[in-house]
């Protein structure tokens, strides 16, 4: 049994368990709510998958989401731009933030952990500075809010955004030659460079994509809550990284993929939602997540060892 099949089974057991002990858990409406609540972290996790495949990390995505949310609010309400233009500005701010990470990682060769730890504080600091930490933006027009609160039939609108993102990243990582070079960088950046791959450009691209996704996630977040504030997306980077790592992508790079990330994300999202519907304290989620993560990765080690033997 592969790691991903094992994780899928784990997810099914989780669903069966919460269906038995939760209220209204196994309903189409609740499935929609789960998607809605996990869409932003989902987008970030998808974007982090190629980043982590190259052996890198991006800790700044949650803060960048907050900065993009603030940019949306400022350009729309304070500068009086129409919402679509303000939304484009917010996404551009995400790309610019990703570009800064890309420049520092790919051009200057500073380790991604250090770069994004820095920009993690920088982006949140900028967002707080622009709003003095307290101003918040609300009363967005209804058409914009349908992005986060609307649905097409039983399908929440976020599903289409995250679905498109998932297909895009799956193609990138698993169906294009670029995807293979990303893994190769994860195994050995120098080896890949000697093989003639433009490693710097590849790295720059994954950090730019990560910034782009933070910008789009900011739109989803603001339209879901109906409010843009500097503390938007606090802690999302760790949730996204947890989803990626639980999904079987190696934190050292090289191994893993988009399918695993989606499974990891679903496992975490169902857990959070199920605990609430079963009237169990949500604090349990932290402990169960830790147990799952350690057990799953421990099992993966054992499986790997066996397949090698």
Partner 1 sequence: MSRARRHWAMLVLVLGAAACGGGAGGGGERPLTVAMMPKNKGNPYFASCRTGAEEAAKELGVRLLWDGPTETDPAKQNEVVEAWITRGVDAIAVSVENKEAISTVLRKARGRGIKVIAWDADAEPDARDYFVNQATPRGIAETLVSHAARLLGGKGDFAVITASLTAANQNEWLRQIRAVLAEKHPDLKLVDVRPSDDDRRRAFEETQTLLKVHPQVRLIMAIASPAVPGAAEAVKQSGRTDVRVTGLGLPNDARPYLKDGVLDSAVLWNTKDLGYLTMHAAHALAKGTLKPGVTSLPAGRLGTVKVDGDQVILGTPFTFTKDNVDQFDF
Minimum gap (Å) between residue 82 Cβ and partner 1: 21
The two tokens of residue 53 are 């495949």
Which residue lies nearer to partner 1 by CB, 22 or 189? 22
Among 161, 177, 188, CA closest to 47 = 161
Which residue lies nearer to partner 1 by CB, 60 or 273? 273
Query: What are the residues facing 227 on neighbouring strands?
Result: 138
Exposed (0-12), middle (13-18) or buried (19+): which is 127, by Cβ within 10 Å? buried
Note whether 185 binds partner 1 by CB under 8 A. Answer: no
- C-alpha–C-alpha distance, residues 143 and 42, integer Å: 23
Among 39, 65, 45, CA closest to 228 = 65
Q: At what angle do helices 199-225 and 83-102 cross, to 10 degrees?
A: 140
Note whether 6 binds partner 1 by CB under 8 A. Answer: no
**Binding characters for partner 1, 227-266, by CB under 8 A (x = yes):** x-x-xxxxxx------------------------------
- C-alpha–C-alpha distance, residues 82 and 80, integer Å: 7
Minimum gap (Å) between residue 19 Cβ and partner 1: 4
Note whether 23 binds partner 1 by CB under 8 A. Answer: yes
Exposed (0-12), middle (13-18) or buried (19+): which is 38, by Cβ within 10 Å? buried
Helix residue spans in the chain (DSSP H): 3-21, 28-53, 61-73, 83-102, 112-131, 142-149, 157-170, 177-187, 189-194, 199-225, 236-246, 258-277, 283-308
Note whether 26 binds partner 1 by CB under 8 A. Answer: yes
Q: From 47-55, 184-192, 201-209, 278-286, give the range in contact with partner 1 by CB under 8 A.
A: 278-286
Q: From 30-38, 51-59, 82-90, 154-162, give the range in contact with partner 1 by CB under 8 A.
A: 30-38
Return the residue of 99, 272, 297, 299 that touches partner 1, per CB under 8 A: 272
Number of residues that bind partner 1 (CB under 8 A): 44
Minimum gap (Å) between residue 109 Cβ and partner 1: 34
Which residue lies nearer to partner 1 by CB, 92 or 231? 231
Which residue lies nearer to partner 1 by CB, 75 or 273? 273
- C-alpha–C-alpha distance, residues 229 and 221, integer Å: 10
Note whether 173 binds partner 1 by CB under 8 A. Answer: no
Q: From 49-57, 244-252, 276-284, 290-298, give the range in contact with partner 1 by CB under 8 A.
A: 276-284
Task: Say which DSSP state 227 is in.
Answer: E
Which residue lies nearer to partner 1 by CB, 39 or 90? 39
The residues of the shown chain that bind partner 1, judged by CB under 8 A, are 5, 9, 12-13, 15-16, 19-27, 29-30, 33, 36-37, 136, 138-139, 149, 221, 224-227, 229, 231-236, 272-273, 276-277, 279, 281-283
């Amino acid at each position: 049994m592969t790691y991903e099949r094992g994780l899928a089974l784990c997810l099914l057991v989780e669903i069966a368990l919460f269906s038995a002990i939760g209220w209204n858990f196994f309903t189409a409406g609740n499935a929609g709510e789960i998607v809605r609540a996990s869409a932003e972290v989902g987008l970030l996790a998808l974007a982090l998958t190629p980043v982590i495949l190259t052996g890198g990390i991006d800790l700044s995505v949650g803060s960048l989401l907050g900065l993009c949310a603030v940019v949306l609010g400022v350009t729309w309400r304070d500068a009086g731009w129409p919402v679509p233009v303000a939304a484009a500005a917010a996404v551009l701010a995400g790309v610019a933030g990703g570009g800064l990470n890309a420049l520092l990682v790919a051009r200057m060769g500073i380790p991604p952990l250090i770069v994004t730890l820095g920009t993690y504080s920088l982006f949140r600091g900028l967002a707080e500075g622009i709003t003095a930490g307290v101003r918040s933006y609300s009363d967005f027009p209804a058409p914009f809010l349908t992005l986060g609160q609307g649905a097409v039939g039983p399908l929440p609108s976020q599903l289409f955004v995250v679905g498109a993102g998932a297909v895009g990243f799956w193609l990138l990582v698993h169906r294009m030659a670029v995807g293979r070079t990303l893994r190769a960088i994860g195994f050995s950046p120098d080896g890949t460079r000697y093989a003639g791959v433009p490693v710097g450009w590849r790295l720059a691209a994954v950090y730019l994509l990560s910034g782009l996704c933070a910008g789009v996630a900011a739109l989803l977040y603001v339209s879901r809550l109906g409010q843009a504030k500097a503390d938007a997306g606090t802690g999302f980077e760790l949730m996204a990284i947890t989803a990626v790592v639980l999904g079987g992508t190696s934190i050292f790079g090289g191994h893993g993929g988009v399918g695993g990330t989606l499974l990891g994300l679903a496992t975490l999202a169902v857990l959070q939602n199920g605990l609430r519907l079963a009237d169990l304290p949500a604090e349990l989620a932290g402990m169960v997540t830790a147990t799952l993560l350690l057990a799953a990765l421990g099992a993966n080690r054992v499986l790997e060892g066996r397949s090698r033997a």
